[in-house]
Structure formats: structure tokens, C-alpha cells
């Protein structure tokens, strides 16, 4: 067993709608778990967290409730989020690090309100860390993708997460123009389930919707063929279990609304970008991060609609967490965060 101290080291945390990732300096991603908690109804006793809790979705008896305490990128249940984060931190903590507290960078969407930001602050304070910093997700994603954010050039990031899509143009270490919309991976799943219910009288659960998105979901036509897959669900007319063949073209139609909203967010951001930075982006292109960027054809659609190069980050699922960890090793970013008053030190804001 590796007895090296982990909890006493610096950590970067991507507290996401779909998943929570923890990055440790010099170790990489040390935890990747769904942001899901199963509790006992009435007492709110935590029964399972992460992967174990996600497996319970749609399969629980009446006395158990499965909760996603972070929706659209913000905390909706303070106590459950605190329990979840404490559980995740305890999993990466060595028993020899009980009295050592780490510095932590935790990411927030660029469009959160002050109330929503305060909720994150309160949760972090409850975990007993030594120092914590809040950083906007686009900044973390850009750093994680290796962009030169401190140079006087335009760096454009499109981070499609589980609950929000963050679009930002960054130069000289700060966000010049940005747009945050609460349309991302979750809304894609909901759009698929809603489409099948409305057009096929076919009910599926969130797991099935997500699986369909991964396997045959596309933002635009990829080839002359039309992929398909068999999906198990319930017939709304007969009320009985049923297996139905779903096609790529159906799912592309289902995803049209959320995909168009993401494209429009990119367009509006570009329209509001200063000319010199826009010229940089025309040459350098934009970088995509987040799990939603893996939707097949989304990069192709953006190239076609925007007329600029589009690059998907090498590890889009981990970009924000990697960036959060690297922030602690970047004095310029830390100074900027401190000047904005987003440092939590010894439990005080």
C-alpha cells in the first residue's frame, strides 16, 4: 500500500454537475466520481456516494432517494454537497495525513451569481481545508488545455459540461468576454428522453438517454449511413416493457435545440469579442473542453457555422480539474484571484 501523504498536498477540484474530479499535484487525477448521493428519506442519512449512488438511479425503494446536489453548475443542496465532498476528500486522504490540511482550488461557472458563489464558499469552509481559491471554469479549462492565457493574444475556450456551457475569450490572464448558458450534457439527455416520449410513445430512463447520446448522438450528419441501436424501455400505450430500434437521425433531431443553443452562445461571444482578439481566434481557433465536447460532429458543426478552426482538447473530461490544480502553481493567477477577494483562508472569506 502506498503510504505517501495525499491529503496534505495541494488539490484541484472540479465540482461538476455530472462528475467530481480531484487532481493532486504531481499525481494527476486521483478521483473521478459521479456527483450523486443516495440518502435515506426522512433522516437524510447518506447511504452511498459517487458510482455506487449512480447505480441506484431509477432502482430505489420508497425509503431511499438518489440526489444530484449540483444542478446547472451550482449547488442546490448545501448539506448533501458538503457530505459528498467530505466523502470524496476522505477517499484520497492517507490515514497519516489527519492533521495536515491542503490548499484547494475549486472551480465555479463564470455566470454564477454572488449567492451561488457564496454557497460554494460555505461548502468548502466546512471541509476544513487550509486555504481555498475559487476560479472560473473557463480559466481552469484554458490552463488545463495548455493555452497561453497570460500572453496578449486571444484564447477562446468552449467548455461543455454536464450542467453549463462556458464560452470565454481570455487574454492577459483574464476573461475579456464570456457567455454562460445552463444548457449542456444533462439537457441533451433530457432532450433525447423527451423526443422518444413525444414522438415514439417510448419511455426511457436517464442512463439509457446518456448511453444513446454516447453511442449514436451526433450534432450533424457524419456519413451517408444512419447508425442505430436497440434500446430497452416502456411502451406508453401498452404500459409494458419494450425494445425499440433508435436511429442516429432521430437522435440528431432530438439534440437540435440544445446543440443550436451552444452554437449560438459561441456566435454571440465571437460577435462581442474585440477585433484584435477576434483576429487571433480566426488564426488560432477555439479549444473545446468538457464531456459535451465529445458529442460527435459538434466540432465539425462549429467549424462550419463559425468559419474558424476548432480543436478538441487532448483530455476534455479532465481539463478543468487539471487546470484547477495547475492554478496553485501559477503565481499570476493566484494573485489575480486574491485581488478579486476569492481566497478563503482558515475558514474566512
Contact at 8 Å (CB) between 235 and 202? Answer: yes
185-256 shares the fold of 146-183+259-312? no
Cα 8 from chain centroid (whole Å): 26
pLDDT at 89: 86
pTM: 0.88
pLDDT at 222: 76
Domain residue spans of the chain: 11-140+319-345, 146-183+259-312, 185-256
**Three-state SS string across 39-67, please?**
EECCCCCEEEECHHHHCCCCCCCCCEEEE
How far, CA to CA in Å, does 202 sit from each of 58, 81, 248, 251? 16, 33, 16, 14
CA 273 – CA 280 distance, rounded (Å) = 11
CATH topology of domain 11-140+319-345: Nucleotidyltransferase; domain 5 (3.30.420)
Q: Is 343 left (phi over 0), alpha (psi -120 to 50) or beta?
A: beta
The strand pairing partners of 312, in sequence order, are: 288
Question: Which pLDDT tens digits describe the chain residue by residue (349 residues)?
Answer: 333 344 456 889 999 999 999 998 778 899 999 999 999 998 989 999 999 999 999 899 999 999 999 988 888 888 899 899 989 988 887 544 544 677 888 888 888 888 888 888 788 778 777 778 888 999 999 999 999 998 999 999 999 999 999 999 999 988 999 999 999 999 999 999 999 999 999 999 999 999 999 999 999 987 777 899 999 999 999 999 999 999 999 999 999 999 999 999 999 999 999 999 999 999 999 999 999 999 999 999 999 999 999 999 999 999 999 999 888 777 667 666 655 555 554 444 3
Contact at 8 Å (CB) between 181 and 262? Answer: yes
pLDDT at 343: 57
pLDDT at 340: 57
CA 186 – CA 163 distance, rounded (Å) = 6
Superfamily of domain 185-256: ATPase, substrate binding domain, subdomain 4 (3.90.640.10)
Answer CATH for 146-183+259-312 from 3.40.50.970, 3.20.20.80, 3.30.420.40, 3.40.50.10260: 3.30.420.40
Amino acid at each position: 500500500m502506498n503510504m505517501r501523504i495525499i491529503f496534505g498536498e495541494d488539490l484541484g477540484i472540479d465540482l461538476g454537475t455530472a462528475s467530481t474530479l480531484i487532481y493532486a499535484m504531481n499525481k494527476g487525477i486521483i478521483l473521478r466520481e459521479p456527483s450523486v448521493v443516495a440518502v435515506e428519506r426522512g433522516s437524510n442519512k447518506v447511504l452511498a456516494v459517487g458510482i455506487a449512488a449512480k447505480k441506484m438511479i431509477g432502482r430505489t425503494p420508497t425509503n431511499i432517494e438518489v440526489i444530484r446536489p449540483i444542478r446547472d453548475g451550482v449547488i442546490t443542496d448545501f448539506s448533501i454537497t458538503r457530505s459528498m465532498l467530505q466523502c470524496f476528500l476522505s477517499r484520497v486522504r492517507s490515514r497519516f495525513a489527519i492533521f495536515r490540511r491542503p490548499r484547494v482550488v475549486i472551480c465555479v461557472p463564470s455566470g454564477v451569481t454572488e449567492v451561488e458563489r457564496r454557497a460554494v464558499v460555505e461548502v468548502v469552509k466546512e471541509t476544513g481545508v487550509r486555504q481555498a481559491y475559487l476560479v472560473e471554469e473557463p480559466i481552469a479549462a484554458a490552463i488545463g488545455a495548455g493555452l497561453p492565457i497570460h500572453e496578449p493574444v486571444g484564447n477562446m475556450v468552449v467548455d461543455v459540461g454536464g450542467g453549463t456551457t462556458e464560452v470565454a475569450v481570455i487574454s492577459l490572464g483574464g476573461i475579456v468576454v464570456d457567455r454562460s448558458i445552463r444548457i449542456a450534457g444533462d439537457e441533451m439527455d433530457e432532450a433525447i428522453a423527451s423526443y422518444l416520449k413525444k414522438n415514439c410513445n417510448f419511455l426511457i430512463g436517464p442512463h439509457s438517454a446518456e448511453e444513446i447520446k454516447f453511442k449514436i448522438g451526433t450534432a450533424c450528419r457524419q456519413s451517408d449511413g444512419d447508425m442505430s441501436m436497440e434500446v430497452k424501455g416502456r411502451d406508453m400505450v401498452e404500459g409494458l416493457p419494450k425494445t425499440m430500434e433508435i436511429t442516429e437521425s432521430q437522435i440528431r433531431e432530438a439534440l437540435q435545440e440544445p446543440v443550436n443553443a451552444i452554437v449560438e452562445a459561441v456566435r454571440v461571444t465571437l460577435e462581442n469579442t474585440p477585433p484584435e482578439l477576434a483576429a487571433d481566434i480566426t488564426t488560432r481557433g477555439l479549444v473545446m473542453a468538457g464531456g459535451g465536447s465529445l458529442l460527435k460532429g459538434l466540432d465539425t458543426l462549429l467549424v462550419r457555422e463559425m468559419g474558424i478552426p476548432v480543436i478538441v482538447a487532448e483530455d476534455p473530461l479532465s481539463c478543468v480539474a487539471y487546470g484547477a490544480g495547475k492554478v496553485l502553481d501559477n503565481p499570476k493567477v493566484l494573485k489575480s484571484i486574491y485581488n478579486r477577494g476569492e481566497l478563503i483562508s482558515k475558514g474566512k472569506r
